[in-house]
Amino acid sequence: PAGGPGAMAQAGVLLTKEPAPQAVPASDLPVKVYEMALNTGPDSSSGLATAGFRTAKYLPAEWYQSNNDLYHKASTSCEQGERGRAEAKELAERAAATAQRAQRDSTASLGLRLRDIHFWKAELQKEIEELDAETGLLAAQKLRLERALDATEVPYAIATDNLQCRERRQPPDLVSDEVERELLKEAELIRNIQELLKRTLMQAGNQMRLNRDHKEICEMDWSDKIETYNIDDKCERYSNQSTNIQFHPSSVKFEESASTPETWAKFSHDNIYRAEREKLASINLRALIDNILHDVSEDLRMQCAAVNEAFAKRCEELDDAKHKLEHHLKKILKEIGAQEANIAALKQAIKDEEAPMKVAQTRLYDRSFRPNVELCRDEAQFRLTGEVEELTESIESLKKKLLESEQSLRNLEDTRMNLEKEIAVKTNSIFIDRQKCMAHRTLYPVVLKLAGYQ
């Protein structure tokens, strides 16, 4: 047949080098069947003697044609092999370049991603530190509020004690004076300040809680960024020579819950924005607390000064009234002494009038015993009668004046008692206002304590 061993041997002679070893194992090709024309021409032998040598033979042309076909087929196979090898080499080089370029692009993308993560991580860390510092400052202001609230207890106790002490004043000094009005105003001011400080304390506590909540949110985001940064940094360091790489076919799929770069950046941006908003609110609250504590301390000190001034003015009035009362008491005592001397003089004058009255009445009595016509209403008789009448009138006048003097003495004594009582009242009022109230007010807290610094 045409595809016999002879043809294979001839084809092998034409090869210039050994064929390259094939990765795919060789298999036998199907045998080509040729349809040959029989020798039926005029030159054919039909003799029986040569019949066995003629039937299985090919013509020379057929033999040459078979060899040419093999030569052509071998050349075609070599060309196809060379072309296939060139394509395989080009494909391998292109695949290697593509893989290298893709890996380089992936490494660059990871580097950009690391830069983005580092940026947001740094922003979050900065915001966390600022928010933590702001919370600490707000806690200090809250402590000032608590100290200021505690410090208001002393002024309130002083004001209420002053009001209670002044209730022990005696009439007519138990008067609703300027001091009492200022003390009532002070007590009302302190109550209002306490309510304001309590409300501000609650507000500060709520703001601190919000600060801590947003700080915790930023810390969780920052922690996730740290973990992601470490993962991506490890991924960026992988290379073809790494020993800890392996196949993970299932990792190619996308997670349905994965975020996009826009939502990822917006998440951190929103966290920082909300934290920044709370930080600004905290800063404004601290400024408000500063103003409140400053105004509170100033208001309390101004009201304290107003009360002290009212006390000082009232004590001056009381001192002046007491001095005037004492001055009048001295005059009254002097007048009482003079009146007592006058009464004694009047009594002595009345007593001194008794002897002349006795003389005059004895004369008249004795002359009434004159006999007969001697019982004459002479000049002496008229004079003695007039003397008795004059003495009687003088004694009556003296007695009347004595009664008036005694009544005047009683009035003076009553006035003296009233003056002494009033002086005692003024002394009690001065003691209450000066020794009790004003002395107690020296314990009033200083401005630094009222402002919450101590």
pLDDT tens sequence across 173-201: 898 889 999 999 999 999 999 999 999 99
Mean pLDDT of 166-171: 90
pLDDT, residue 416, reads 93
3-state SS record for 99-141 = HHHHHHHHHHHHHHHHHHHHHHHHHHHHHHHHHHHHHHHHHHH
Same domain, 190 and 301: yes
How far is residue 268's CA from residue 279's CA, in Å, rounded to a whole number? Answer: 16
The rounded percent of the chain whose pLDDT value lies above 70 is 87
Give the lowest-confidence range in 54-68, 100-114, 177-191, 414-428: 54-68
272 within 8 A of 125, measured Cβ to Cβ: no
pLDDT band at 253 (very low <50, low <70, confident <90, very high): confident
pLDDT, residue 16, reads 45
Mean pLDDT of 231-258: 83
Same domain, 169 and 266: yes
How far is residue 418's CA from residue 329's CA, in Å, rounded to a whole number? Answer: 9
CB atoms within 10 A of CB 7: 17
- Could you tell me what percentage of the chain is helix, strand and coil, using 3-state DSSP and rounding each to the nearest 5? 80, 0, 20
User: What stretches of 368-378 show up as alpha helix (H) in DSSP?
Assistant: none
Please report whether residue 253 resides in a domain.
Answer: no
3-state secondary structure of 39: coil
How far is residue 285's CA from residue 293's CA, in Å, rounded to a whole number? Answer: 12
Same domain, 295 and 380: no
Same domain, 306 and 339: no
Give the lowest-confidence range in 38-42, 125-129, 294-298, 369-373: 38-42
Please report whether residue 54 resides in a domain.
Answer: no
pLDDT single digits (tens) 284-331: 999 999 999 999 999 999 999 999 999 999 999 999 999 999 999 999
Dihedral, CA atoms, 388, 389, 394, 400, nearest 10 degrees? 120
Same domain, 205 and 309: yes
**Which of 353, 229, 213 minimizes the C-alpha distance to 277?**
213
Please report whether residue 335 resides in a domain.
Answer: yes
> Longest Cα pair distance anywhere in the chain, in angstroms?
259
Counted domains in the chain: 2
pLDDT band at 276 (very low <50, low <70, confident <90, very high): very high
Same domain, 299 and 386: no
Same domain, 300 and 274: yes
Q: Which helix (H) or strand (E) holds 308?
A: helix 261-367
How far is residue 47's CA from residue 53's CA, in Å, rounded to a whole number? Answer: 11
Mean pLDDT of 88-99: 92
Please report whether residue 419 resides in a domain.
Answer: yes
Domain end (from 290, 315, 340): 315
3-state secondary structure of 406: helix
Pick the residue with more confidence: 282 or 39?
282
- CA angle 210–214–217, rounded 5-degree value: 145
Same domain, 205 and 335: no
Same domain, 282 and 349: no
387 within 8 A of 357, measured Cβ to Cβ: no
Please report whether residue 26 resides in a domain.
Answer: no
Same domain, 299 and 177: yes
Please report whether residue 17 resides in a domain.
Answer: no
Please report whether residue 109 resides in a domain.
Answer: no
Same domain, 297 and 357: no
Please report whether residue 127 resides in a domain.
Answer: yes
Q: Which amino acid is at 216?
A: E
Mean pLDDT of 1-23: 46
Domain encompassing residue 403: 329-369+376-447
Same domain, 384 and 415: yes
How far is residue 318's CA from residue 322's CA, in Å, rounded to a whole number? Answer: 6
- CA angle 52–54–60, rounded 5-degree value: 150
Q: Model-level pTM?
A: 0.68
How far is residue 398's CA from residue 419's CA, in Å, rounded to a whole number? Answer: 30
pLDDT, residue 50, reads 55
Give the burial string for 54-81 (b: 16+ CB within 10 Å, else e): eeeeeeeeeeeebbeebeeeeeeeeeee
Residue 39 scores a pLDDT above 60: no
Q: Which amino acid is at 234?
A: K
pLDDT band at 162 (very low <50, low <70, confident <90, very high): very high
pLDDT, residue 451, reads 82
